[in-house]
Homo-oligomer: A and B are copies of this chain.
Amino acid sequence: MATQLEIARAGKISDVMKRTADREGVSAELIRDELAAGRLVIPANKVHVADNLEPAAIGRAVSVKINANIGASDVSSSLDGEIEKMKMAISLGADAMMDLSTGEDLDAIRERLIAECPVMFGTVPVYEVIVGRGVEDIDHKTILEVAEKQAKQGVDFFTIHAGLLREHLPLTKKRVCGIVSRGGALMAKWMVHHDRQNPMYELFDDLCDIMREYDVAFSLGDGLRPGCGADATDEAQIAELRTLGELASRAQEKGCQVMVEGPGHVPYDQIKRNMELQQDICNDAPFYVLGPLVTDSAPGYDHITSAIGGTAAAFYGASFLCYVTPREHLGLPDVDDVRQGVIASKIAAHAADVARGFGQAAARDRRLSEARANLEWDKHIAESLDPKTAQRMHEEACARSQIADSGDSADYCTMCGRDWCSVRINREVRDQF
């Protein structure tokens, strides 16, 4: 059976393409042509499609997508807790979930999560490869076995850290933060220990074969992404990006769909250039960024530093934003952190779509603002990105200002109170101009 890329290259339109086109309000032909050109992916494992996946597309021709990470680990949360986080993230608009679990029973966790997950589902197979063995003991055979097993389970995209080569390692010596990607650090340690090339690089064609069979999309990991502003856009990052560009073409030639992962920590003034470089070097493969964080100085608030960078990135070229939670750099996210992270990311994605003039993004803002101007609170809140939070704050304001009804009856905005309500005054005078 062919992958979506192969079907598109053959000039055909699949059911999956049709469904994503309908969701986006674009033509199926556009989806097909962008897919064929490698500028768009639909991570949709055949197993997951046959089960419960609502396929979605990632690329510049469609709306910007966001991913939320979850994952059970030794130290913390239970599977039920992770499922709760996943459901909340999806209800708030997460377009993808990545399972970064690192504890015991990874198969049971993954199978259960996929069974409950209607959006695309990604993993980092090396996180399983390392379970029960030291980094040094990772072997080629296990890597392929794990990849094949996860592909069979229905994972839609794999982060594969194949671009970080042995010869790139010395380039990180000048860095303030060295290698901050977990997968990248593991690969570096393996290469140093064995004095050998990155096994993911050596196995790349074999991985392509497995992933092609199930149509698992590549998310080419940036193991050398900058971990602080001072390391941004440095030699190490760009050297790996060039390898990622080559690997993207190789995988596409093999019939696989490919996205490329990107930074990381990037000062605001360097984001545009980073996006242009990626598009240039990787032949416009969809770019999937973590952040970027525009300052290092805000631990506890990195959902905000990321939303700033993410908006700029998505405006200038990225198609897919990985959420960052407030607790990034400090600990694993709890359920409220997941909420904050998802919403911050949705804000960035939506703001970029508004700025790009994409589809109905600006119309959505307009509908909400019309309701706001008309003091139609129910509609105003229903149109918002997180109606539950908006409703709570509105009710608190109503209670404080002693408005009995939190619906549409109050003739003023609860922010400033009746006398000071510019909305009310505006309605009084606007017919008199």
Binding site for B on A (CB under 8 A): 73-76, 102, 135, 169-170, 172-173, 176-182, 184-186, 188-189, 192, 227-230, 265, 267-270, 294-301, 303-305, 307-308, 311-312, 315, 326-332, 343-344, 347-348, 350-352, 354-357, 362, 364-366, 368-370, 372-373, 380-381, 383-386, 389-390, 392-394, 396-397, 400-402, 413-417, 419-420, 422-423, 425-430, 432-433
Knowing A176-B366, A365-B229, A400-B75, say if A420 contacts B102 (CB, 8 Å).
Answer: yes
**Interface on chain A toward B: helix, strand, loop, or mixed SS?**
helix
- For A413, list chain B residues within 8 Å (CB): 329
Contacts of A294 in B (CB 8 A): 311, 347, 351, 354-355
Asked if B343 and A414 make an inter-chain contact with CB atoms under 8 angstroms apart, the answer reads: no
B182, B189, B330, B355: the one within 8 Å of A394 (CB)? B330
Q: Chain B nearest CB: distance from A342 CB in Å? A: 11
List residues of chain B with CB within 8 A of the CB of A347. Answer: 294-295, 297-298, 301, 304-305, 308
Q: In the bound complex, do residue B432 and residue A268 qualify as a contact, i.e. CB atoms below 8 Å apart?
A: no
Q: Which residues of B contact A307 (CB under 8 A)?
A: 304, 307-308
* A348–B308 CB distance below 8 A: yes
Contact at A365–B297, with CB atoms within 8 Å?
Answer: yes
Residues of chain B lying within 8 A (CB to CB) of residue A355: 267-270, 294
Give the copy number: 2
A407 to B400, CA, bound (A): 42
How far, in whole Å, are A269 and B422 apart by their CA atoms in the complex?
A: 27
Cross-chain contact of A390 among B186, B330, B393 (Cβ < 8 A): B330
> Which residues from B are CB-within-8-Å of A185?
422, 425-426, 429
Nearest residue (CB) in B for A184 is B422
Q: How far is the CA of A381 from the CA of B300 in the complex (A)?
A: 10
Identify the 5 closest CB pairs spanning chains A and B, nearest first.
Answer: A331-B397, A228-B369, A268-B355, A185-B422, A269-B355
For the complex formed, measure the closest distance between the CB of A401 and the CB atoms of chain B, giving whole angstroms: 5
Known A178-B373, A330-B414; 20 more pairs at CB < 8 Å = A73-B416, A75-B417, A102-B419, A169-B429, A170-B433, A176-B370, A180-B423, A182-B416, A182-B422, A185-B425, A189-B428, A192-B432, A229-B366, A269-B315, A295-B347, A296-B365, A297-B385, A300-B393, A305-B347, A330-B415
Q: In the docked arrangement, what's the CA distance between A393 and B340, Å?
A: 15
With a CB–CB cut-off of 8 A, which chain B residues contact A74?
417
User: Does the CB pair B228–A365 fall under 8 Å?
Assistant: yes
A372 x B308 contact (CB < 8 A): no
Chain B residues positioned under 8 Å from A173 (CB to CB):
430, 433
> Bound state CA distance, A416 and B331, in angstroms?
7
Chain B's nearest CB lies how many Å from the CB of A399? 9
Residues from chain B with Cβ under 8 Å of A362 in the complex? 229-230, 267
